[in-house]
Structure 1
Amino acid sequence: MSSTKPLPAALKRWAEQRIGPVVSVRDASHSWDRSRVWDLEGGSGVHRYLKVSPSVKFFTRESRAYRHIVPALGHTRAPHLIDSRAQDLVLLLTAVPGAPVKELGLDTAQWRTVHQQAGALCARLHEAGELDRGDRVKAEASLSAAADGAEKYLARAGDRLDHDEQQLVRDHAARLRRVGPGPVGYIHGNNQLRNWLWSTSGLALVDFERSRPAARVQDFVILATTQWADHPDREKAFLRSYGRELSDAERHALRCLSALDAVNCLAWGPDNGDAEVTARGRRTLDRLMKEDRP
């Protein structure tokens, strides 16, 4: 667990110029070092969030998403951008109601309802406007780009994978390069329970720093390797409200992407002390090994 991160005084002054006096500040960062998020409470009890992006790339992605894509989700379904300042990589956002879904202890029917609403929100996001020419080129190349990252992940993971597991990842990367073109759009990029907030108003999505033009199927990888692996009813509820089943090509791509996600988890998780991510990678890799080599 990281120590509490103080909000820099200059950023507090900048925020107060836009939202008025701030009476309390709470560190709302995730546990990893590069996460910097604060909950700002105003005098009227209204909460906003100030986020400092971990990189120029993430700031650019997130600020663009909030300006041009996220509004398609609708009121209360995602934060809205109040202001941003590129030189400090800072975003000032409204708050949305709710708590992270994973903390709520939902029953079977509630889980299906959550996934049903998530499917509808993802459909809105993926269909939020036509991609321009440059974005379409990036989106259509996104699966090949994902495959190209396999060797980097394998090098970082090192001996956390044995020879056969490394070969499985390479095989899936090669297969992914052969997947034909599929539906593309603007994806969330980190679509998982941690970024789903549930309240009486319904589901909201947060954290758009990985949003980008890409193959739409890339938004389903974490769900497929966590929620859907053991709960096919949740997948069914999601896809019903998403508006269509995945094609055979997308199913094939999803399997290949799951292998790449596994090695990425096993590279990143142990190095950052994230047991949950590490466990996700190991579980996925073990499942793929059993299915490919029974």
Structure 2
Amino acid sequence: MTNLSTPSPALLAWASRALGARPCVQDASDPRENSRVWQLDLPSDVRFLLKVSSRPVMYERETLALRHAVPALGAGRAPQLRASNADHLALLLTAVPGRPLKQLTVTPAEEVRAHRQGGALLARLHAAGDLSGPRRAEAEQALQAVADGAEDHLREAGARITSTEQKQVRDLAEQLRGLPPLPLAFTHGDAWERNLLWSKDLRQAGWIDFERARFAAVVQDFVQMACRTWADKPHLRAACLQGYGREFMPEEQHALRCLAGLHAVSCLVWGPRLDDPHVTACGRRTLDRLIEGVFA
């Protein structure tokens, strides 16, 4: 059986060649399923991360993101790609200062600052995307693709969703299909506090984990935060959008509500499947807020 706490000899040899030295290795994987990340420390006190993607599509998405738009965030604000290896689905990345905001105890002022900077960085990312040719078509179809997936998720969720909730979700999917064209961008795809880093020493935020990055509607990058953090802390919504540079247009706010309902159903599918009670709870709470009419 492969020991996933250390890279394979072939993978470590590749990383060592790319770095020009054999590093000290420390497991830096998240507790979630399929996370394979190692911290590589060089004698010169320079730190890198070695990441193995769980699927080819995620490797391809993150590689594109790191080459295409992520450099616009600036050094220290996102990983920089040092080398990639398609055979191993491996990425050799510079380390970003700080730790995930979700894992930190911070002051209210630090939390606001982190979300304001996080919003500003998302604005840079969105502006850096090249929406020419088929990429624009991909972005224009993104909302339709979410709506089309609603029925499958409802079927898989089964009895975890009431008939009233099923009707509401179907209505939201239809509303999503009927929206006018919305602003498009190259999006992070998983923007929330698990991937938003905060460095207390530098008082600086950064984004990591671009394996779900894609061309989509801008508003799709805010669904996770709307369903999680903003539910209890609306002032962080204000901070994030202040950093982003604008409020949502009415059509985007409508889309966010529709997307939240469909996201909630997917949480009620994936939470039990992954045995993750936090994901399940997020889905249940979001649906309750939508039914009660308190989702802002």
Is the pair's TM-score, using the shorter chain for normalization, greater than 0.5? yes
- Alignment equivalent of 2:240, drawn from 238, 241, 257: 238
Which letter does structure 2 place at the counterpart of 1:257?
L
SS of 2:128's equivalent?
coil
Match of 2:164 in 1: 164
* Gap change, CA 1:127 and 1:23, over 3 Å in 2: closer
* Gap change, CA 1:30 and 1:103, over 3 Å in 2: closer
- 1:158-177 CA distance string (max 9 Å, x none): 21112211222111111111
CA distance in 2, matches of 1:277, 1:30: 15
Q: Which of 176-185 and 161-170 deviates more?
A: 161-170
Percent identity between the two aligned chains: 49
CA contact (8 A) 1:24 1:40 kept: yes
Please give the TM-score of this superposition, normalised by the length of structure 2: 0.94
Q: Which of 165-174 and 251-260 deviates more?
A: 165-174
Match of 2:205 in 1: 203
Which letter does structure 2 place at the counterpart of 1:47?
R
CA contact (8 A) 1:49 1:94 kept: yes
CA distance in 1, matches of 2:39, 2:189: 23
SS of 1:87's equivalent?
coil
Q: Which of 18-27 and 98-107 deviates more?
A: 18-27
- Alignment equivalent of 2:227, drawn from 225, 228, 237: 225
Match of 2:21 in 1: 21
SS of 1:15's equivalent?
helix
Whether 2:126 is the aligned partner of 1:126: answer yes
Which letter does structure 1 place at the counterpart of 2:238?
K
Match of 1:50 in 2: 50
Match of 1:266 in 2: 268
Superposition CA RMSD, Å = 1.5
CA distance in 2, matches of 1:259, 1:109: 31
CA contact (8 A) 2:260 2:286 kept: yes
Match of 2:185 in 1: 185
CA distance in 1, matches of 2:291, 2:226: 16
SS of 2:197's equivalent?
strand
1:23, distance to aligned residue in structure 2 (A): 4.1
Please give the TM-score of this superposition, normalised by the length of structure 1: 0.95
Which letter does structure 1 place at the counterpart of 2:253?
R
- 1:132-159 CA distance string (max 9 Å, x none): 1110011011111111111121222221
1:259, distance to aligned residue in structure 2 (A): 0.4
Which letter does structure 1 place at the counterpart of 2:14?
W
1:129, distance to aligned residue in structure 2 (A): 4.1
SS of 2:293's equivalent?
helix
CA contact (8 A) 2:62 2:212 kept: yes
> What number of residue pairs does the alignment pair up?
290
- Alignment equivalent of 1:247, drawn from 246, 249, 254: 249
SS of 1:88's equivalent?
coil
Instruction: Structure 2: give runs of 5+ residues left out of the alignment.
Output: none
